[in-house]
Amino acid sequence: MKNIYRRILSFNTIILLFLTTLSLTIITSSNSNVISAEKEAIINTVDKTANIPENIETTKEEIKVVEKKEETKPVVTETKKTTTTKKTTTKKTTTAKKTTTVKQTTTPKTTTVKTLEQKLQEKSNKYHLTIGNISISGSNFSKDLVKDDGSYYYLDHTLDKKLNYRGVPFIDFRHDFTGRKTIIYSHSAKDGTGPFNYLQNYNGNKEFFKKHQYITIHYAGKVYKYQIFSAYISTAKNDNDEGLEYFRVNNYSDAEWGKRIQEYKNKSDYDTGVSVSKNDKILILQTCSMDNRYYKKYYRYNQLVMAKLISVQ
């Protein structure tokens, strides 16, 4: 049995070996045929190139490769909306517009400008007393003016009867513009707000005087115009001092008056060039002096501005 088995195995082995050898032969033969074909193609190409004459241009033929397109799904792309801001340049163009003029009949507005006299009359009616005005040429100096009744009430009261140390410029109760002299009083203040602070400008200042040498008084329906002829500070050590002579009421003769008025002119800080005589009626503006040279040295020290009457209307 063992021998039979061995024989069968040996026979099978021989057959297997045979089949293996046969397969290798077939494969080798096939490969050699492929290699030979490739060699032949290469040899043929080289031969053809070698046989081309040198003076003949060769044209290499382009080999077009056609690729099969793959079927692809359409691609959906998102498109973003963009807002484009266009800068517009507006060119100015001149166009002739036809205008139709329509004539309208309108009543012009009339503005009533009140005169100084009308304003003074309104104030007089309001406060139940005669109110005038004093002004100086070449300036905006313009103040209300009343007449004192002997009580010196407006030395520290306003027109509406309110207590105020600045008061209102007032005419001496003894005077009425018809006599030889008329005195008007008012305050000056160190803060510059007194009604008569403006008079301090005449102190030793001739150039100022030249530009502001006329005084106008509106009172009781009349207009009095004066020209300044003297400006100085009057001092007094007591009530009987000669420095207060201008304040007193004296019954001077014409000659005495002419002499006295010339003395007023001579006391001026500067020569005004304005002449005076015994026939002149004068206006005296009085206020306290702001000049420290006289502070506490005298019983009284007053800034005076004197002017002569040149016209009445």
The domain spans of the chain are 174-312
Q: What is the DSSP letter of 294?
A: G
Q: How far apart are CA 261 and CA 268, in angstroms?
A: 11
57 — pLDDT class (breaks 50, 70, 90): very low
Instruction: Say which residues have a Cβ less than 8 Å from residue 204's Cβ, sequence separation at least 6.
Output: 269, 270
DSSP 3-state of 195: coil
Mean pLDDT is lowest, of 26-40, 92-106, 193-207, for 26-40
50-80 in b/e burial notation, b at 16+ Cβ within 10 A? eeeeeeeeeeeeeeeeeeeeeeeeeeeeeee
Residues 287 and 303 sit within 8 Å (Cβ to Cβ): yes
Q: Check pLDDT > 80 for residue 45.
A: no
- Report the candidate in 169, 170, 179 with the shortest Cα–Cα distance to residue 147: 170
Whether the CB-CB separation of 187 and 251 falls below 8 Å is answered with no
pLDDT value of residue 254? 95
Token pair of 261 as six digits: 């008025």
Residues 119 and 134: beta-carbon distance below 8 Å: no
CATH superfamily membership of 174-312: Sortase (2.40.260.10)
* pLDDT above 60: residue 30: no
Alpha-carbon separation of residue 11 from 1, 16, 21, 110, 278 (angstroms): 15, 9, 16, 151, 186
- Do the Cβ atoms of 308 and 274 come closer than 8 Å? yes
| Furthest-apart CA atoms within the chain: distance in Å | 200
Two structure tokens written together for 10: 């040996």
Cβ-Cβ contacts under 8 Å for 274 (sequence gap 6 or more): 213, 227, 228, 229, 265, 308
Please say if the pLDDT value at position 28 is more than 50: no
- Contacts with 205 (C-beta within 8 Å, 6 or more apart), sequence order: 269
pLDDT digits (tens, 9 = 90+) for 63-86: 343 444 444 444 443 444 444 444
191-245 pLDDT, tens digit each: 999 999 999 999 999 999 999 999 999 999 999 999 999 999 999 999 999 999 9
Q: Are 297 and 259 in contact (CB under 8 A)?
A: no
Computed over every residue of the chain, the mean pLDDT equals: 78
Residue 219 β-bridge partners:
222
Q: How far apart are CA 40 and CA 29, in angstroms?
A: 17
